[in-house]
Amino acid sequence: MLKTPAYAAAIAKAPLAPFSVERREPGPHDVLIDILYCGVCHSDIHQARGEWGGEIFPMVPGHEIVGKVVKVGSEVRKWKAGDTVGVGCFVDSCRACEACKAGDEQYCERGANFTYNGRERDGKTPTYGGYSTRITVDETYVLRIPDGIPLDGAAPLLCAGITTYSPLVHFGVKAGDRLAVVGLGGLGHMGVKIAKALGAKVTVLSHSPGKREDALRLGADDFIATRDAAVFQKNAGRFDFILDTVSAQHDYNAYLQLLRRNGTMVLVGLPDPTPLAAFTLILGRRRLAGSLIGGIRETQEMLDFCAAHGLTSDVEVIPIQQINEAYERTVKSDVRYRFVIDIASLRRS
């Protein structure tokens, strides 16, 4: 076993602090990765604070991982030492169910094995995430980071990037579509960039008027401040597609009415339960759907797409010693738009 420095929450709501985990030596199909950067996802905070239930402590968060391969197992042919790679939200799945065979491992019918706050396929061994100096992962669940992408800005693509890319592609967003992104945070800002690269006409819907300039800088064609309730009536039936990235409670019905006939609204945020009026869907033959990250094949497709279009996340790089401050700032939306941990700071500590 490989003793590995990390940062962990010992119990729910405890500040993250130095910790040590044991990584397995690479088996025949494993890849050992030295982690360089790890993004800070809002879901890290929810889980480290015990807000979703069923958490496993001590917990080492982090599922937006970029690093270098340092060792491969005897049967590995795809990867070699020195390759720049990524690890996203899961590190294994059953590989046999209909979802896995279709390349939708995130929907594994027997349960995907998440990168942290989960268990390995044995159902016993806890998984520990990217707030650590290295990780051992089965070769099938490792992703290639294309040449030319800044590695710090690439890390959040492993969650924020694929979470927004997958529904846009799955539901067929195309050039010329009138598309709205609800919320301009870690997810929303990537939604704007990717939708624009797909050729959509993008509008940002935000309760924060001060984000107008950023929205336009990121590529949006228009911005609507939603604090004024009148804008919902004014823009009724305007959009073909709405990507809703907000995790705070809000009125789905108001946003659904912004869709034209046959329009689609997809949820990628996780707010508290919100009442839904059937008439809002029925009267316009509208569709309300959800989407969860993406499979390995689609995530690689997303990384290649982002490289081809020069897209990365807007990041603020921090040493790991500032992680608790970063959590507080994230909750207050005081980041543009994703914190990324420089793991070199953990190696030096």
CATH number at residue 320: 3.90.180.10
**Does residue 131 sit in the same domain as residue 41?**
yes
Q: What is residue 273's predicted lDDT score, i.e. its pLDDT? A: 84
Quick one: tokens of 189?
């800002």
313 and 223 in a common domain: no
C-alpha closest to that of 57 among 49, 65, 68? 49
Shared-domain flag, residues 197 and 246: yes
Q: Same structural domain for residues 87 and 173?
A: no
Q: Is the pTM of this model over 0.85?
A: yes
Predicted confidence at residue 336, as pLDDT, reads 93
Main-chain phi, psi angles of 10, to 5 degrees: -70, -40
Gap between the Cα atoms of 208 and 184, Å rounded: 9
Rounded average pLDDT over 219-227 = 97
Confidence at 206, pLDDT banded by 50, 70, 90: very high
Q: What is the pLDDT of residue 272?
A: 84
- Report whether pLDDT(321) > 90: yes
Q: Please state whether beta strands 201-206 and 222-225 pair in parallel, antiparallel, or not at all (unpaired).
A: parallel
Residue ending a domain, choose from 290, 310, 330: 290
SS3 of residue 156 by DSSP: helix
Residue at a domain's end among 266, 290, 314: 290
Q: If DSSP states are collapsed to H, E and C, what string results for 17-73?
A: EEEEEEECCCCCCEEEEEEEEEECCHHHHHHHCCCCCCCCCCECCCCCEEEEEEEEC
Specify whether 60 is located in the same domain as 13: yes
Same domain, 144 and 229: no
| Domain range for 271 | 163-290
pLDDT at 144: 98
Residue 14 confidence (pLDDT): 98
Angle at 326 between CA 183 and CA 50, to 5 degrees: 80
Domain end marker among 241, 257, 290? 290
pLDDT of residue 271: 87
CA dihedral 156, 157, 162, 164 (to 10 degrees): 70
Write out the H or E segment, with its range, that includes residue 239: strand 239-244
CATH number for the domain that contains residue 184: 3.40.50.720
If asked whether residues 79 and 181 sit together in one domain, one would say no
State the Cα–Cα distance between residues 301 and 295, nearest whole angstrom. 10
Closest of 13, 19, 91 to residue 52, by C-alpha: 13
Question: In this predicted structure, what is the pLDDT of residue 274?
Answer: 86
User: In this predicted structure, what is the pLDDT of residue 28?
Assistant: 98
DSSP 3-state of 307: helix
pLDDT at residue 137, rounded to an integer: 98
Instruction: Answer yes or no: do 192 and 228 share one domain.
Output: yes
Regarding whether 225 and 192 lie in a shared domain, the answer is yes
Calculate the average pLDDT of the chain. Answer: 97
What DSSP string describes 183-238? --SHHHHHHHHHHHHTT-EEEEEES-GGGHHHHHHTT-SEEEETTSTHHHHHTTT-
Do residues 286 and 236 lie in contact, with contact meaning Cβ atoms separated by under 8 Å? no
pLDDT of the residue at 349? 80
User: Residue 314, Cβ neighbours under 10 Å: how many?
Assistant: 17
Whether 14 and 152 share a structural domain: yes
| Tally of structural domains, the chain | 2
Pull the structure tokens for residue 109: 């019918």
167 and 309 inside one domain:
no
78/227 same-domain check: no
Q: Which of 252, 264, 256 is nearest to 236 (CA)?
A: 256
